[in-house]
Amino acid sequence: MRRTNSKTVNLIGFPMDLGADRRGVDMGPSALRIAGLPKQLQNLGYKIIDDGDIIIQIKEKQEIGNFKLKYLNEILRTSKILAQKVEKALSQNYFPLCIGGDHSMGIGTIAGISSYCRKNKLKLGVIWIDAHADMNTDKTTPTGNIHGMPLAANLGLGNEKLVNFYGFSPKLKPENTVLIGVRSIDEFEKKNIKQLNLTVYTMSDVDKLGIHRIIARVLKQFKEKVDHIHVSFDLDSVDPTLAPGVGTSIPGGLSFRESHLLMESIAECGCMSSLEVTEVNPILDDKNKSAIFAAELVASSMGQRIL
């Protein structure tokens, strides 16, 4: 396991709302900055290079296109810019911190990370923390929203343009991919998960085993098998009483302490080399409390402690 030692964080905003039906998630990057995310990381000793936000055309200026793959062309165009930025950050020994935006962001971030790992002969592992599995394809999607497809696409399932985005597939190996906090899975997604034999820790597993045992098990396995750990954190993994500002809130999520303990454990491992935070929607929020909570979780994952 290659331990990350970069004290320079490259902050990349991806104000994407084309992957989802609910508007407002494009303001997520601004909400996280307003919540003090850069300052919190500076207080932990990190240098911040803020690239600002990638420019994305609003829905009103675009055609939906294929109703099973809404706004595909603009998502692919902007995801390529994101992938290039992430890959460049890693090549400069920076820590890419991508803030969104809906979870279709995971198409670009993971493409860039996976490309960097391929070129440097590193094995990539991904911890996907989410209320949803994001394992739909254009054949299985009930909505046509691409934010429900990024993990499937990265694993090689789905539409050819998503699967082969950035010139290669798959981006991830199922045995090096873990989902945590899942509590809403579509019927066809279950088939895709079983087909790939993915490791999924649902909220029922969190209740039975405890979050510390789960993340300790995952990190132990990854330390032996992978060189680069990427964490993809969807704020809807957290219980909506703590973070109401998400597009698709599902009751019964991670508690305050479970969320922080999860991120603190990742920090203690010292093995996270990239991070993305998605689905912060200030329009659905209460006085930016969801973004404030998300910023605190990022700080926990980067080394902030109670004592």
DSSP 101-134: SSTTHHHHHHHHHHHHHHHTT--EEEEEE-SB--
Active site residues: 103, 130, 132, 134, 147, 234, 236, 279
CATH architecture entry for 8-301 = 3-Layer(aba) Sandwich (3.40)
Give the total residue count for the chain.
307
- 10 Cβ neighbours under 8 A, 6+ residues apart: 49, 51, 85, 89, 92, 94, 95, 96, 97
Contact 89, 12 (CB under 8 A): yes
pLDDT along the chain (307 residues), means of 10: 76 97 96 98 97 96 96 98 98 97 98 98 98 98 97 98 98 98 97 97 98 98 96 98 95 98 96 97 97 98 89
At 4 the pLDDT is 59
Tokens of 70: 């809404």
Rounded to a whole number of angstroms, the distance between the first and last alpha carbons of the chain is: 27
Contact 232, 278 (CB under 8 A): yes
Rounded to whole angstroms, what are the CA distances from 122 to 94, 113, 228, 283? 16, 10, 7, 40
Return the domain boundaries, the chain: 8-301
Tokens of 258: 């479970």
Contact 218, 209 (CB under 8 A): no
What type of residue sits at position 285? D
Rounded to whole angstroms, what are the CA distances from 85 to 16, 79, 96, 104? 16, 10, 9, 16
Angular region, 85: left φ>0, alpha ψ -120 to 50, beta rest: alpha
- Classified as helix, coil or strand, 210 is coil
Beta-ladder partners of 100: 14
Contact 186, 233 (CB under 8 A): no
Tell me how far apart the alpha carbons of residues 188 and 203 are, in angstroms, rounded to a whole number. Answer: 19
Statement: the pTM of the whole predicted model exceeds 0.95: yes
Contact 126, 132 (CB under 8 A): no
Parallel/antiparallel/unpaired status of strands 47-53 and 95-100: unpaired
